[in-house]
Structure formats: structure tokens, C-alpha cells
Amino acid sequence: MISPRRIPNVWLTAAGVLAAIVLAVGLIALLDRDPAESSGDAAPNIVQPAAPGEAGSELSEQDLEDIEPPPYTAADVGFMQDMIPHHEQAIEMTNLVAERSESEDIALLAGRIEISQKGEIALMNDWLSARGEEPSSEGSHGGAYGDHAMSHHGSHEMSDGELMPGMLTESQFARLSAASGGEFDRLFCDLMIQHHRGALAMVDEQRATGGGIEAEGYKVSADIEADQRIEISRMRQVLKGIGSPSS
């Protein structure tokens, strides 16, 4: 056996050149290869499910282009039309903060809620208008809570005459309006958490009754759901700071 130390330098040089050529050729081949040919990067096959016991069918790119997006439903329309006055009441609640609260945290929280609710009201009105559906009239309940004279036939009610989930009753709003200082801050958070939980229940109802399938309608309700959950978490933190944890 020839010792490595006795291999002529010319052999080593030739071997190095050959290895470099092989490596270069391999890299060129790899760079020229179509990524779709790689088993790891192959375009996924889209299969349309079939009835039980039947084989599914693979969809081509043309098939995918011909598929109609899911339409909006009556559940989506009802959700938007009901959520608008629901949001409007939350804004009425935030309007009480400036004169009744002594907490910077509550003022900041109320400002964030007001901004998010107004933005979502605009989105819901736009969604309804774009589909030729009747949008909620601006200020649909006409500030009735602020005057302590809520109409029990107004847009706060559902078709069965019950208040929408989480909505404050006339007595609850009157109690909030009469409070001030720390009492107001605790009551504001407690009632707004109630209000937001009601909105989450309305999102669940929309989806349970056939809504939330159309992409844009789903995005609106998903954004509302996310905002409500974030704001509930913030209010719970504020309540801890003022000594009245909410369940």
C-alpha cells in the first residue's frame, strides 16, 4: 500500500481539480433543476371530496379558477345589522368616561374601545351597502340610553323582543350614568365586559346559523371577535389594579 506521504504532488493536484469539476457540475445541475420537479417542493394536488364510498376528483388549475366563492347568507346580514347598534351602545358607554372617571387607564381603555367600535361600524355599513342590504341608520337608537329613556321597540332588540346579548338594560345604563370615581371605573369595566361577551356570543350565533362563510363577512366578524377578546383582557387587568376582579 502506498503511503499518502509518497503520493506524487501531481496526483494530488489532479484529484483536487477533478473534485472541483464534479462539485461545479453538480451545482449547475441543481440550479438548473425545476423546483416543481423536486419531491419536497412539488405543487400540491387539490382533491375535491366526494360522497362517502366514492373517490374524490383531482382539480386542475382551470377547475380552481371556475369555482365560485361562497356567498354571504341571511345570518351574515342579520349579524351586521344587529352588531352596529350593539357597537353604538358601547360608544355611548365610553362617552360617559370623561366626566365620571378619575383613572387614566380607564380613559385610555375607553378611547381604544371607541376607535375600534367606530372603525368596525364603518366596515359593517360598507359591507351591507356593497351588497345592496339595508345598512343600520346612523345613531339608530338616537342616544336613548343617554336620556335614560330606552325604547323597548328600538334596534336594541332581536326579533323575539329580547335585548341583544350583552346589551345594557335601561337600569344598568342609568346606574352607570349616576356613578363616578372608583365606583364608575369598576362598573364601567364590569358592564363593558358583559357587553363584549355578548358580542362574542353574537359571533358564535352568526357561524352556528350558516354565516361567516363568505370571505369578507368572515373577516369582519373575526376582527370583531379578536378586538373584543383583547379588550376584555385589558379590562380585567384594569380591574385588578382598582381592586375589583371580574369573573
| Alpha carbon distance 82, 76 (integer Å) | 10
Q: Is residue 113 domain-resident?
A: yes
Long-range Cβ contact pairs of 180-183 (< 8 A, separation 24 or more)? 180/100, 180/101, 181/100, 181/101, 181/102, 182/102, 182/103, 182/242
CATH of the domain at 231: 1.20.1260.10
User: What is the rounded average pLDDT of the residues 16-33?
Assistant: 46
H helices within the chain, ranges in order? 9-32, 61-66, 74-94, 97-100, 104-130, 170-178, 181-208, 215-241
SS (H, E, C) 194-228: HHHHHHHHHHHHHHHCCCCCCHHHHHHHHHHHHHH
Amino acid letter for position 156: H
Give residue 67's pLDDT band: very low, low, confident or very high (50, 70, 90): low
Lowest mean pLDDT among 23-27, 68-72, 222-226: 23-27
**pLDDT on residue 241:** 84
Q: Is residue 197 domain-resident?
A: yes
Grid coordinates of 3: 503511503
**pLDDT on residue 4:** 45
**pLDDT on residue 162:** 78
Q: Is residue 144 domain-resident?
A: no
Average pLDDT, the chain: 77
**pLDDT on residue 243:** 67
Q: Is residue 7 domain-resident?
A: no
Q: Quick check: 151 pLDDT over 60? A: no
Q: Is residue 84 domain-resident?
A: yes
User: What is the rounded average pLDDT of the residues 38-46?
Assistant: 57
Cα 44 to its chain centre, rounded Å, is: 28
What crossing angle do the helices spanning 181-208 and 215-241 adopt, rounded to 10°?
150
Amino acid letter for position 52: P
| Alpha carbon distance 193, 90 (integer Å) | 10
Rg (CA), the chain: 31
Structural domain total, the chain = 1
pLDDT over 70, % of the chain:
60
Q: Are 55 and 48 in contact (CB under 8 A)?
A: no
**pLDDT on residue 63:** 58
Write out the residue range of the structural domain in which residue 186 sits: 74-131+171-241
Q: Are 80 and 128 in contact (CB under 8 A)?
A: yes
Cα 237 to its chain centre, rounded Å, is: 22
User: What is the rounded average pLDDT of the residues 55-80?
Assistant: 77
Provide the 8-state DSSP code for 244.
-
Q: Quick check: 1 pLDDT over 90? A: no
Q: Is residue 124 domain-resident?
A: yes
Q: Are 201 and 243 in contact (CB under 8 A)?
A: no
**pLDDT on residue 167:** 97
Q: Is residue 11 domain-resident?
A: no
**pLDDT on residue 116:** 96
Greatest distance between any 2 Cα atoms in the chain: 106
Q: Is residue 95 domain-resident?
A: yes
3-state secondary structure of 163: strand
Lowest mean pLDDT among 21-30, 127-136, 235-244: 21-30
Provide the 8-state DSSP code for 42.
P
**pLDDT on residue 148:** 34
